[in-house]
Protein backbone atom coordinates (compact mmCIF):
# COMPACT_ATOMS: atom_id res chain seq x y z
CA UNK A 1 0.00 0.00 0.00
CA UNK A 2 2.84 2.44 0.76
CA UNK A 3 4.40 1.75 -2.66
CA UNK A 4 1.10 2.44 -4.45
CA UNK A 5 0.67 5.74 -2.63
CA UNK A 6 4.18 6.79 -3.71
CA UNK A 7 3.35 6.16 -7.36
CA UNK A 8 0.18 8.20 -7.11
CA UNK A 9 2.12 11.10 -5.60
CA UNK A 10 4.60 11.15 -8.49
CA UNK A 11 1.80 11.03 -11.08
CA UNK A 12 -0.05 13.91 -9.41
CA UNK A 13 3.02 16.13 -9.38
CA UNK A 14 3.63 15.39 -13.03
CA UNK A 15 0.06 16.31 -13.86
CA UNK A 16 0.35 19.65 -12.09
CA UNK A 17 3.55 20.44 -13.96
CA UNK A 18 1.95 19.60 -17.29
CA UNK A 19 -1.06 21.80 -16.51
CA UNK A 20 1.20 24.72 -15.56
CA UNK A 21 3.24 24.35 -18.76
CA UNK A 22 0.08 24.19 -20.88
CA UNK A 23 -1.29 27.35 -19.22
CA UNK A 24 1.96 29.24 -19.81
CA UNK A 25 1.96 28.16 -23.47
CA UNK A 26 -1.63 29.35 -23.96
CA UNK A 27 -0.81 32.68 -22.33
CA UNK A 28 2.16 33.12 -24.66
CA UNK A 29 -0.02 32.33 -27.67
CA UNK A 30 -2.61 34.91 -26.58
CA UNK A 31 0.14 37.51 -26.25
CA UNK A 32 1.28 36.84 -29.81
CA UNK A 33 -2.29 36.91 -31.14
CA UNK A 34 -3.23 40.18 -29.42
CA UNK A 35 -0.27 42.60 -29.46
CA UNK A 36 -0.40 45.64 -27.19
CA UNK A 37 -2.15 48.65 -28.65
CA UNK A 38 0.21 51.12 -30.30
CA UNK A 39 0.95 54.28 -28.37
CA UNK A 40 -0.88 57.37 -29.61
CA UNK A 41 1.36 59.92 -31.33
CA UNK A 42 2.48 62.90 -29.27
CA UNK A 43 1.09 65.96 -31.07
CA UNK A 44 1.71 69.64 -30.28
CA UNK A 45 -0.26 72.51 -31.86
CA UNK A 46 0.57 76.19 -31.53
CA UNK A 47 -2.86 77.88 -31.20
CA UNK A 48 -6.10 76.77 -29.60
CA UNK A 49 -8.51 76.83 -32.60
CA UNK A 50 -6.17 74.54 -34.52
CA UNK A 51 -5.69 72.34 -31.45
CA UNK A 52 -9.46 71.84 -31.46
CA UNK A 53 -9.44 70.73 -35.10
CA UNK A 54 -6.56 68.32 -34.46
CA UNK A 55 -8.33 67.00 -31.35
CA UNK A 56 -11.45 66.26 -33.41
CA UNK A 57 -9.45 64.34 -36.02
CA UNK A 58 -7.65 62.42 -33.22
CA UNK A 59 -10.79 61.45 -31.30
CA UNK A 60 -10.60 57.87 -30.09
CA UNK A 61 -6.81 57.79 -30.40
CA UNK A 62 -5.27 60.60 -28.34
CA UNK A 63 -5.31 64.31 -27.58
CA UNK A 64 -2.95 67.07 -28.72
CA UNK A 65 -1.26 69.69 -26.55
CA UNK A 66 -1.42 73.46 -27.12
CA UNK A 67 1.92 75.25 -27.11
CA UNK A 68 0.90 78.93 -26.82
CA UNK A 69 -1.11 79.91 -23.69
CA UNK A 70 -4.43 81.62 -24.24
CA UNK A 71 -3.22 84.86 -22.64
CA UNK A 72 -0.33 85.30 -25.10
CA UNK A 73 -0.24 86.48 -28.71
CA UNK A 74 1.21 84.01 -31.24
CA UNK A 75 2.98 86.85 -33.07
CA UNK A 76 5.17 87.60 -30.05
CA UNK A 77 5.21 84.31 -28.11
CA UNK A 78 8.67 83.23 -26.93
CA UNK A 79 9.65 79.65 -26.14
CA UNK A 80 10.70 78.77 -22.60
CA UNK A 81 12.67 75.74 -21.47
CA UNK A 82 9.53 73.72 -20.74
CA UNK A 83 8.17 74.55 -24.20
CA UNK A 84 11.36 73.31 -25.82
CA UNK A 85 11.09 70.09 -23.80
CA UNK A 86 7.50 69.67 -24.98
CA UNK A 87 8.54 70.09 -28.62
CA UNK A 88 11.43 67.62 -28.30
CA UNK A 89 9.04 64.93 -27.04
CA UNK A 90 6.57 65.43 -29.91
CA UNK A 91 6.08 63.17 -32.92
CA UNK A 92 4.22 65.88 -34.85
CA UNK A 93 3.94 69.67 -34.54
CA UNK A 94 1.31 71.81 -36.26
CA UNK A 95 1.69 75.57 -36.69
CA UNK A 96 0.16 78.10 -39.04
CA UNK A 97 3.56 79.38 -40.14
CA UNK A 98 5.47 82.66 -40.31
CA UNK A 99 2.28 84.48 -41.26
CA UNK A 100 1.06 84.07 -37.66
CA UNK A 101 3.74 82.74 -35.30
CA UNK A 102 6.57 84.85 -36.71
CA UNK A 103 8.51 84.67 -33.44
CA UNK A 104 8.84 80.87 -33.79
CA UNK A 105 10.51 80.84 -37.20
CA UNK A 106 14.07 80.99 -35.87
CA UNK A 107 13.53 78.77 -32.81
CA UNK A 108 11.95 76.08 -34.99
CA UNK A 109 14.96 76.29 -37.32
CA UNK A 110 17.50 76.15 -34.48
CA UNK A 111 15.82 73.78 -32.04
CA UNK A 112 16.67 70.10 -32.45
CA UNK A 113 13.19 68.68 -32.91
CA UNK A 114 12.78 65.10 -34.06
CA UNK A 115 9.12 65.65 -34.84
CA UNK A 116 7.58 66.30 -38.21
CA UNK A 117 6.61 69.97 -38.44
CA UNK A 118 3.48 70.68 -40.49
CA UNK A 119 3.19 74.30 -41.65
CA UNK A 120 -0.50 74.76 -42.36
CA UNK A 121 -0.44 78.08 -44.22
CA UNK A 122 1.20 76.38 -47.20
CA UNK A 123 -1.70 73.94 -47.62
CA UNK A 124 -2.61 73.91 -51.34
CA UNK A 125 -5.83 75.72 -52.25
CA UNK A 126 -6.09 77.96 -49.18
CA UNK A 127 -7.66 81.39 -49.47
CA UNK A 128 -4.93 83.76 -48.31
CA UNK A 129 -5.36 87.48 -47.64
CA UNK A 130 -2.62 90.07 -47.52
CA UNK A 131 -2.30 91.94 -44.26
CA UNK A 132 -4.07 95.28 -44.55
CA UNK A 133 -2.21 98.49 -43.86
CA UNK A 134 -3.34 102.02 -43.20
CA UNK A 135 -6.24 103.44 -41.27
CA UNK A 136 -8.94 102.83 -43.87
CA UNK A 137 -9.34 99.76 -46.04
CA UNK A 138 -10.53 98.71 -49.44
CA UNK A 139 -11.70 95.17 -50.10
CA UNK A 140 -9.35 92.42 -48.86
CA UNK A 141 -6.43 91.70 -51.20
CA UNK A 142 -6.46 88.02 -52.11
CA UNK A 143 -3.22 86.26 -52.93
CA UNK A 144 -2.36 82.69 -53.78
CA UNK A 145 0.53 81.54 -51.61
CA UNK A 146 2.26 84.79 -50.58
CA UNK A 147 5.82 85.31 -49.54
CA UNK A 148 6.35 84.65 -45.84
CA UNK A 149 5.46 87.63 -43.72
CA UNK A 150 3.00 89.11 -46.24
CA UNK A 151 -0.02 87.01 -45.36
CA UNK A 152 -2.70 87.26 -42.69
CA UNK A 153 -2.38 84.06 -40.67
CA UNK A 154 -5.89 83.85 -39.19
CA UNK A 155 -6.77 81.23 -41.78
CA UNK A 156 -9.18 79.24 -39.56
CA UNK A 157 -11.77 82.04 -39.75
CA UNK A 158 -12.84 80.89 -43.22
CA UNK A 159 -14.86 77.66 -43.45
CA UNK A 160 -13.47 76.51 -46.82
CA UNK A 161 -9.95 76.97 -45.46
CA UNK A 162 -10.83 74.89 -42.43
CA UNK A 163 -12.04 72.00 -44.56
CA UNK A 164 -8.73 72.01 -46.43
CA UNK A 165 -6.84 72.19 -43.12
CA UNK A 166 -8.76 69.17 -41.82
CA UNK A 167 -7.54 67.13 -44.78
CA UNK A 168 -3.97 68.30 -44.26
CA UNK A 169 -4.16 67.48 -40.55
CA UNK A 170 -5.46 63.97 -41.24
CA UNK A 171 -2.71 63.33 -43.80
CA UNK A 172 0.01 64.43 -41.38
CA UNK A 173 -1.40 62.22 -38.61
CA UNK A 174 -1.56 59.23 -40.95
CA UNK A 175 2.09 59.80 -41.87
CA UNK A 176 3.13 59.28 -38.24
CA UNK A 177 0.44 56.74 -37.28
CA UNK A 178 -0.59 54.69 -40.30
CA UNK A 179 -2.30 51.86 -38.35
CA UNK A 180 -5.01 54.33 -37.31
CA UNK A 181 -5.46 55.82 -40.78
CA UNK A 182 -9.11 54.82 -41.16
CA UNK A 183 -10.04 56.42 -37.84
CA UNK A 184 -8.36 59.68 -38.86
CA UNK A 185 -10.10 59.65 -42.25
CA UNK A 186 -13.50 58.94 -40.72
CA UNK A 187 -13.09 61.64 -38.07
CA UNK A 188 -11.97 64.13 -40.71
CA UNK A 189 -15.01 63.45 -42.87
CA UNK A 190 -17.38 63.88 -39.92
CA UNK A 191 -15.60 67.09 -38.92
CA UNK A 192 -15.96 68.59 -42.41
CA UNK A 193 -19.71 67.95 -42.22
CA UNK A 194 -19.90 69.76 -38.88
CA UNK A 195 -17.97 72.70 -40.33
CA UNK A 196 -20.40 72.90 -43.28
CA UNK A 197 -23.35 72.98 -40.90
CA UNK A 198 -21.70 75.65 -38.74
CA UNK A 199 -20.93 77.76 -41.82
CA UNK A 200 -24.60 77.75 -42.86
CA UNK A 201 -25.66 78.60 -39.31
CA UNK A 202 -23.32 81.60 -39.07
CA UNK A 203 -24.22 82.85 -42.53
CA UNK A 204 -27.90 82.88 -41.54
CA UNK A 205 -27.23 84.65 -38.23
CA UNK A 206 -25.16 87.43 -39.87
CA UNK A 207 -27.13 87.86 -43.10
CA UNK A 208 -28.83 91.12 -42.06
CA UNK A 209 -25.61 92.89 -40.97
CA UNK A 210 -23.81 93.27 -44.30
CA UNK A 211 -24.09 97.03 -44.68
CA UNK A 212 -23.10 98.07 -41.14
CA UNK A 213 -19.51 99.45 -41.05
CA UNK A 214 -17.17 98.79 -38.12
CA UNK A 215 -13.63 99.69 -37.09
CA UNK A 216 -11.04 97.43 -35.48
CA UNK A 217 -8.17 98.01 -33.11
CA UNK A 218 -6.24 95.15 -34.77
CA UNK A 219 -6.74 93.65 -38.22
CA UNK A 220 -7.47 90.05 -37.22
CA UNK A 221 -10.91 89.32 -38.67
CA UNK A 222 -10.72 89.86 -42.43
CA UNK A 223 -11.29 86.16 -43.22
CA UNK A 224 -14.44 86.25 -41.10
CA UNK A 225 -15.51 89.56 -42.69
CA UNK A 226 -15.07 88.24 -46.21
CA UNK A 227 -16.73 84.90 -45.49
CA UNK A 228 -19.87 86.48 -44.06
CA UNK A 229 -19.85 89.70 -46.08
CA UNK A 230 -19.29 92.04 -43.14
CA UNK A 231 -18.00 95.58 -43.61
CA UNK A 232 -14.75 96.30 -41.83
CA UNK A 233 -13.69 99.79 -42.89
CA UNK A 234 -10.42 100.38 -41.08
CA UNK A 235 -8.11 100.08 -38.11
CA UNK A 236 -7.94 102.60 -35.30
CA UNK A 237 -4.16 102.50 -34.97
CA UNK A 238 -3.96 104.16 -31.55
CA UNK A 239 -0.50 105.25 -30.48
CA UNK A 240 -0.58 104.38 -26.82
CA UNK A 241 2.20 106.80 -25.88
CA UNK A 242 0.43 109.80 -27.40
CA UNK A 243 -2.08 112.07 -25.66
CA UNK A 244 -5.29 110.02 -25.42
CA UNK A 245 -7.58 113.04 -25.68
CA UNK A 246 -6.20 114.07 -29.08
CA UNK A 247 -6.39 110.49 -30.36
CA UNK A 248 -9.96 110.07 -29.20
CA UNK A 249 -10.97 113.32 -30.90
CA UNK A 250 -9.48 112.11 -34.19
CA UNK A 251 -11.16 108.73 -33.72
CA UNK A 252 -14.55 110.33 -33.14
CA UNK A 253 -14.15 112.20 -36.41
CA UNK A 254 -13.30 108.97 -38.23
CA UNK A 255 -16.26 107.14 -36.71
CA UNK A 256 -18.55 109.88 -37.95
CA UNK A 257 -16.98 110.06 -41.41
CA UNK A 258 -17.11 106.29 -41.98
CA UNK A 259 -20.54 105.88 -40.29
CA UNK A 260 -19.07 103.13 -38.10
CA UNK A 261 -21.54 101.59 -35.70
CA UNK A 262 -19.05 99.41 -33.79
CA UNK A 263 -15.39 99.32 -32.75
CA UNK A 264 -13.85 95.88 -32.17
CA UNK A 265 -10.85 94.94 -30.05
CA UNK A 266 -9.47 91.45 -29.62
CA UNK A 267 -6.88 91.60 -26.83
CA UNK A 268 -7.52 91.90 -23.07
CA UNK A 269 -5.41 95.07 -23.07
CA UNK A 270 -7.92 96.71 -25.41
CA UNK A 271 -10.64 96.87 -22.75
CA UNK A 272 -9.78 100.28 -21.28
CA UNK A 273 -9.44 101.85 -24.72
CA UNK A 274 -12.77 100.42 -25.85
CA UNK A 275 -14.44 101.87 -22.77
CA UNK A 276 -12.94 105.30 -23.49
CA UNK A 277 -14.03 105.08 -27.13
CA UNK A 278 -17.58 104.17 -26.16
CA UNK A 279 -17.76 107.01 -23.65
CA UNK A 280 -16.45 109.75 -25.94
CA UNK A 281 -17.98 108.73 -29.28
CA UNK A 282 -21.13 106.90 -28.26
CA UNK A 283 -20.28 104.05 -30.65
CA UNK A 284 -20.83 100.47 -29.54
CA UNK A 285 -17.75 98.38 -28.78
CA UNK A 286 -16.92 94.68 -28.46
CA UNK A 287 -13.96 92.63 -27.27
CA UNK A 288 -13.91 89.60 -29.59
CA UNK A 289 -11.36 86.81 -29.18
CA UNK A 290 -10.38 84.80 -32.30
CA UNK A 291 -8.49 82.21 -30.22
CA UNK A 292 -11.23 80.91 -27.89
CA UNK A 293 -9.55 81.75 -24.59
CA UNK A 294 -12.86 81.51 -22.69
CA UNK A 295 -13.57 77.92 -23.70
CA UNK A 296 -12.23 74.62 -22.43
CA UNK A 297 -9.86 72.88 -24.79
CA UNK A 298 -11.21 69.97 -26.79
CA UNK A 299 -12.84 69.13 -30.13
CA UNK A 300 -15.72 71.59 -29.59
CA UNK A 301 -13.59 74.68 -28.92
CA UNK A 302 -13.41 75.65 -32.60
CA UNK A 303 -17.21 75.64 -32.91
CA UNK A 304 -17.69 77.53 -29.65
CA UNK A 305 -15.15 80.13 -30.72
CA UNK A 306 -16.76 80.72 -34.12
CA UNK A 307 -20.24 80.96 -32.63
CA UNK A 308 -18.90 83.38 -30.00
CA UNK A 309 -17.33 85.60 -32.68
CA UNK A 310 -20.57 85.67 -34.66
CA UNK A 311 -22.70 86.42 -31.60
CA UNK A 312 -20.49 89.30 -30.50
CA UNK A 313 -20.38 90.83 -33.98
CA UNK A 314 -24.14 90.53 -34.21
CA UNK A 315 -24.61 92.21 -30.82
CA UNK A 316 -22.21 95.06 -31.61
CA UNK A 317 -23.50 95.73 -35.13
CA UNK A 318 -27.19 95.44 -34.38
CA UNK A 319 -29.19 98.48 -33.33
CA UNK A 320 -29.68 98.65 -29.53
User: What pLDDT is recorded for position 3?
Assistant: 46
Least-confidence region, from 116-125, 195-204, 276-285, 286-295: 276-285
Give the pLDDT confidence score for residue 7 in this predicted structure: 41
The pLDDT-based confidence of 272 (bands split at 50, 70, 90) is confident
Q: Give residue 129's pLDDT.
A: 94
Least confident span in 107-121, 132-146, 152-166: 132-146
pLDDT at position 173: 98
State the pLDDT at residue 37. Answer: 54
282 φ/ψ sector (left φ>0, alpha ψ -120 to 50, else beta): left
Specify the higher pLDDT residue, 102 or 113: 102
Chain-centroid distance of CA 279 in Å reads 34
- Lowest mean pLDDT across 8-12, 186-190, 203-207, 238-242: 8-12
Mean pLDDT lowest among 188-197, 241-250, 286-295, 307-316: 241-250
Mean pLDDT computed over 168-183: 98
Beta pairing, strands 65-66 & 92-95: unpaired
More confident residue, 181 or 280: 181
pLDDT at 131: 85
Lowest mean pLDDT among 113-122, 163-172, 269-278, 296-305: 269-278
43-202 and 207-317 have identical folds: yes
CA angle, corner 218, sides to 213 and 224, nearest 5? 60
At residue 187, the pLDDT reads: 98
pLDDT tens-digit series, residues 32-72: 444 445 689 999 999 999 999 999 999 999 999 999 998 89
Distance between CA atoms of residues 75 and 305, nearest Å: 19
DSSP 87-150: HHT-SEEEE--TTT-GGGHHHHHHS---SEEEEGGG-TT--EEBPP-SSB--S--EESSPPTTS
Better pLDDT: 84 or 33: 84
pTM: 0.84
Higher pLDDT, 17 or 272: 272
Please list, residue by residue across 96-122, b when 16 or more beta carbons sit within 10 angstroms of its beta carbon and e when fewer do. Answer: bbbbbbbbbeebbeeeebebbbbbbbe
Instruction: Check residue 46 and give its pLDDT.
Output: 98
- Please state the domain extents for the chain: 1-36, 43-202, 207-317
Q: What is the pLDDT of residue 277?
A: 87
CA 39 to chain centre: 24
Q: Which CATH class is domain 43-202?
A: alpha beta
Under DSSP, the state recorded for 296 is -
Please state which of the four CATH numbers 3.40.50.300, 3.50.50.60, 3.40.50.1980, 3.40.50.1970 is assigned to the domain occupying 207-317. 3.40.50.1980
H/E element holding 201?
A: helix 181-206
Q: What is the mean pLDDT of the chain?
A: 85
Amino acid sequence: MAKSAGVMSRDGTLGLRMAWALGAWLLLLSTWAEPAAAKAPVVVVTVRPLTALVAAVMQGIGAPTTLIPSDQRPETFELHNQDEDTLRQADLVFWVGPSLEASLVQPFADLEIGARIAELDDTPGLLIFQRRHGGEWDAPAVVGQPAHGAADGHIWLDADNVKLLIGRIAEALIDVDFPDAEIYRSNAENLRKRVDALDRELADSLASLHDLPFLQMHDDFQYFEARYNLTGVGAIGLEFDAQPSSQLKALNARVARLHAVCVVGDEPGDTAYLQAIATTSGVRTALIDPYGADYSEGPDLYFQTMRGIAAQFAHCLSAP
